[in-house]
């Protein structure tokens, strides 16, 4: 058995993989693959309807919000959010907490003024800024809920006088969220929801249509809402696997239940990192991510040896992002706590073998 700590595309539930594999050959007994059915067929329309229904149920999405399944990844939403929300000559506010937040604010500059209300760049994004003021004259306030590269996470969301736009790509459905506190939520599927190729968008209808600009149809949230995520051919297979994953999450007790599991996984792993003299954490304690656990070795010369031990034990994907080094254990929803204990055992074995 492989223990997949990869940051993304990340681990999927085994049950989901089995269902998806069967559907590639014969979807629902209709004699056709899920890869070759029409997106206008009743079979796929029922898949899309079920996926939307599950999102609304699992996240308790209130009335007045639309759920979309779009293409282009979260990186496309870096541009589409300001395209649809930031008027010409207007201003948007951004919290800079890592690489992806920085990329998002750079895209927004094509559409208007960007005010960075706070940044943690001074300490290589190892903490979440706390003391800042959200400008009331901005069209929206953009945040990134979890930072995969640096291992930080907003444990509390800010109270904002303006619509909050949130990139939840790496912790979507991992914890309870009050959707009504946000104007727009977007997330690439490939961490906690499904395979790469589809992006979830949850948008408050009342904040749309106020930019005063003409927006090409494919990039216009209102057009996509009117088309039911099918203005063009949607990513059929990615939506299907996302629907299966959301249904798996529901069967486990929903977001509240998985949040408890995620907290437990993160707690035992951070305890080992704090306890083991060969490893050390990199982020402020109060801002540690429950999804991406980043740490380094006290002696960097031993990194390759530890990675070799992990490889021998079928521990996959823990090498840190190339821009920061060290290690990163991504403990997404589908990763069982038993895999976390395998990693902890490897850390303890390594310390025992290498102690002076």
DSSP, residue by residue, 196-264 = TT-EEEEEEGGGSS-S-S---GGG-HHHHHHTTT-SS---HHHHHHHHHHHHHHHHTTHHHHHHHHHHH
Question: In the numeric block, which tokens belong to residue 51?
Answer: 């996926």
Is 317 part of a structural domain of the chain? Answer: yes
Note the pLDDT of residue 230.
97
Using CA atoms in the order 294, 295, 301, 303, what is the torsion angle rounded to 10 degrees? -60
For residues 196 and 211, membership in a common domain is answered with: yes
Mean pLDDT of the chain: 97
Is 170 part of a structural domain of the chain? Answer: yes
User: Pick from 251, 285, 320: which residue ends a domain?
Assistant: 251
For residues 228 and 261, membership in a common domain is answered with: no
For residues 240 and 262, membership in a common domain is answered with: no
Whether residue 76 is predicted with pLDDT greater than 70 in this model: the reply is yes
Is 1 part of a structural domain of the chain? Answer: no
Note the pLDDT of residue 278.
97
- Helix (H) / strand (E) element for 310: namely helix 303-312
Is 103 part of a structural domain of the chain? Answer: yes
Q: Among residues 71, 77, 80, which one has the least CA distance to residue 236?
A: 71
Torsional class of 264: left (φ above 0), alpha (ψ -120 to 50), beta (otherwise): alpha
User: Pick from 219, 251, 283: which residue ends a domain?
Assistant: 251
Report the distance separating Cα 152 and Cα 127, nearest Å: 6
Note the pLDDT of residue 323.
79
For residues 105 and 219, membership in a common domain is answered with: yes
- Helix (H) / strand (E) element for 128: namely none
Report the distance separating Cα 7 and Cα 222, nearest Å: 32
For residues 46 and 120, membership in a common domain is answered with: yes
Q: Are strands 91-96 and 113-119 parallel, antiparallel or unpaired?
A: parallel
Q: Which residues, including other chains, have CB under 8 Å from residue 251's CB and lie 6 or more apart?
A: none
Report the distance separating Cα 139 and Cα 265, nearest Å: 38
pLDDT tens column, 152-168: 999 999 999 999 999 99
Using CA atoms in the order 301, 307, 310, 312, what is the torsion angle rounded to 10 degrees? -100
| Arithmetic mean of pLDDT, 57-72 | 98
For residues 272 and 236, membership in a common domain is answered with: no
For residues 293 and 155, membership in a common domain is answered with: no
- pLDDT band with cut points at 50, 70 and 90 for residue 356: low
22-36, 110-124, 214-228, 317-331: segment of lowest average pLDDT: 317-331
Report the distance separating Cα 168 and Cα 17, nearest Å: 23
| Arithmetic mean of pLDDT, 178-184 | 98
Is 10 part of a structural domain of the chain? Answer: no
| Percent of the chain clearing pLDDT 70 (strictly above) | 100
Q: What's the domain range around 344?
A: 254-354
Whether residue 215 is predicted with pLDDT greater than 90 in this model: the reply is yes
In 3-state terms, the chain is what percent helix, strand and coil (to 5)? 40, 15, 45
For residues 50 and 159, membership in a common domain is answered with: yes
For residues 211 and 71, membership in a common domain is answered with: yes
| Arithmetic mean of pLDDT, 9-32 | 97
| Arithmetic mean of pLDDT, 52-78 | 98
For residues 176 and 219, membership in a common domain is answered with: yes
Domain count, the chain: 2
Active site members: 100, 167, 191
Is 9 part of a structural domain of the chain? Answer: no
User: Pick from 201, 220, 251: which residue ends a domain?
Assistant: 251
Residue 326 sits in a domain whose CATH number is 3.90.1150.10
Angle at 193 between CA 335 and CA 139, to 5 degrees: 125
Distances (CA, A) of 232 to 50, 80, 165, 228: 19, 17, 25, 10
Note the pLDDT of residue 324.
85
Note the pLDDT of residue 1.
85
For residues 333 and 242, membership in a common domain is answered with: no
């Amino acid at each position: 058995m492989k223990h997949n700590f990869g940051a993304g595309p990340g681990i999927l539930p085994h049950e989901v993989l089995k269902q998806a594999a069967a559907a590639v050959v014969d979807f629902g007994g209709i004699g056709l693959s899920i890869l070759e059915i029409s997106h206008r067929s009743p079979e796929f329309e029922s898949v899309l309807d079920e996926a939307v229904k599950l999102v609304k149920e699992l996240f308790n999405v209130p009335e007045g919000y639309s759920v979309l399944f779009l293409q282009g990844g979260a990186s496309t939403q870096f541009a589409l959010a300001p395209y649809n929300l930031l008027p010409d000559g207007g201003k948007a506010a951004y919290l800079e907490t890592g690489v992806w937040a920085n990329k998002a604010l750079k895209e927004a500059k094509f559409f208007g003024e960007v005010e960075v209300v706070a940044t943690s760049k001074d300490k290589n994004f190892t903490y979440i800024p706390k003391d800042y003021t959200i400008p009331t004259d901005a069209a929206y306030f953009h945040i990134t809920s979890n930072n995969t590269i640096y291992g930080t996470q907003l444990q509390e969301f800010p109270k904002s006088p303006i619509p909050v736009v949130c990139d939840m790509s790496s912790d979507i459905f991992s914890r309870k969220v009050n959707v009504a506190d946000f104007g727009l939520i977007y997330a690439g599927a490939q961490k906690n929801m499904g395979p790469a190729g589809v992006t979830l968008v949850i948008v408050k209808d009342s904040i749309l249509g106020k930019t005063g600009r003409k927006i090409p149809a494919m990039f216009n949230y209102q057009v996509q809402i009117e088309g039911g995520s099918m203005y063009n051919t949607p990513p059929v297979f990615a939506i299907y696997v996302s629907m299966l994953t959301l249904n798996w999450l529901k069967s486990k007790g929903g977001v509240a239940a998985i949040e408890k599991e995620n907290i437990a996984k993160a707690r035992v792993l951070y305890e080992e990192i704090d306890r083991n003299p060969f490893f050390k954490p990199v982020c402020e304690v109060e801002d540690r991510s429950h999804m991406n656990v980043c740490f380094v070795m006290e002696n960097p010369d031993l990194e390759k040896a530890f990675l070799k031990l992990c490889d021998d034990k079928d521990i996959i994907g823990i090498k840190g992002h190339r821009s920061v080094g060290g290690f990163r254990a991504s403990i997404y929803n589908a990763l069982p706590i038993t895999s976390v204990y395998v990693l902890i055992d490897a850390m303890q074995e390594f310390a025992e073998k290498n102690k002076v």
